[in-house]
Every structure is written in C-alpha cells, then in structure tokens.
Amino acid sequence: MQACALSSMPTRNTPMAGIHITDIEAAINYWRERKPSPDGVTLAPEIRALAEVYALMIYYHESEADEFTFPTKALQAWMTWYESTMDTPCIAICSTSQGDETCKGCGRSFEEVQHWPALRPAEKRQVWRRITLHGDAWRFNRYAERAKEKPSE
C-alpha cells in the first residue's frame, strides 16, 4: 500500500505477495458469520482489525496489501479465515507430470505445483485468484465435482 499505516513496518528482502482485497472481504464475512454484531453497530475485534485495512485500501485505491506490513491483529484474523479455506487446488489429475508447463487439472504452473508446500499463504492465495479468474482448468469444468469441498464435521 502507499503511505498509510500499513507501511510502518520494515520491509523485507523477499518479494511481496499481496493479500487481495477480495480475500479481506471474504475474511470479514467469515468473521461476521462467527461473531455477529450484538447491536448492529459494534464490531468484533477481528472484523474491526480487518475493516481498518479494508478502509485504507479503499481510500488509497489499492487492490492488494503487503503481507509483511499487514497489522498483526488483522493478519491473525486473516490467517484464521485462510486456514478455513482449501489449501491446494489439486484435483489429482496432474498433467505437469506428463510434461505440460501448466497443469490441465488445477491450472498451476509446474513451478507452483513443485513448490506449493513452501509457498506462504499470501502467495498461495495469489495463485488461487489467478487460476479462478482464468477458470479454464479442469477443476472448474469437467472435473468440478472432484474439486468440491467435503462438508466439515
């Protein structure tokens, strides 16, 4: 983000992975379901932390926030939401093992498939966003039933 409260932390030498505004919206909605306002005005601490980031992003016309300068409470709330999402887009049909640069099953590149366990959560969400927007991997059409989440128990 630009010169706002989120840029007060020191930068790191690793490349930035942005946390997209749609993920912040999803995290806010996640918390709104779990901790609804008792009076229609009061916000749970997790929602308030995420809403502050969201408001700054809107104000500065930013679509992504730097994961390394994300405020601690907002990051904790976002991580709790993140942990409730599917980790991998894999549907167990990997064409990269057959030499394809991009997997026909999930839409990830060969490098993304190989390095997936080492990617940070924000990096994984960037990949998820790209393949979802692209939407031509088999997980989004002919094998969509494989990609559906199983109900949690």
Asked whether the whole model's pTM tops 0.85, one would answer no
Contacts of residue 134, Cβ cutoff 8 Å, sequence gap at least 6: 107
Q: Which residue has the tokens 């390394």?
A: 68
pLDDT in tens, 52-110: 999 999 999 999 999 999 999 999 999 999 999 999 999 999 999 899 999 999 999 99
Same domain, 22 and 70: yes
- The predicted pLDDT at position 79 comes to 98
Residue 9 lies in a domain: no
- Torsion angle defined by CA atoms of residues 7, 12, 13 and 17, in that order, rounded to the nearest 10 degrees: -70
Is the sign of the CA dihedral 128, 130, 135, 139 positive or negative? negative
Least confident of 58-67, 115-124, 135-144: 135-144
Residue pair 71/37 in contact (Cβ under 8 Å)? The answer is no
Query: Does 6 have pLDDT greater than 70?
Result: no
Residue 5 lies in a domain: no
Q: How far is CA 126 from the centre of its chain?
A: 6
A 10 A CB-CB count for 31 gives 23
Phi/psi of residue 106, nearest 5 degrees: -110, -20
Kindly state the DSSP code that residue 67 receives in the 8-state scheme.
Answer: T
Same domain, 24 and 70: yes
Q: How many domains does the chain have?
A: 2
Residue 74 lies in a domain: yes
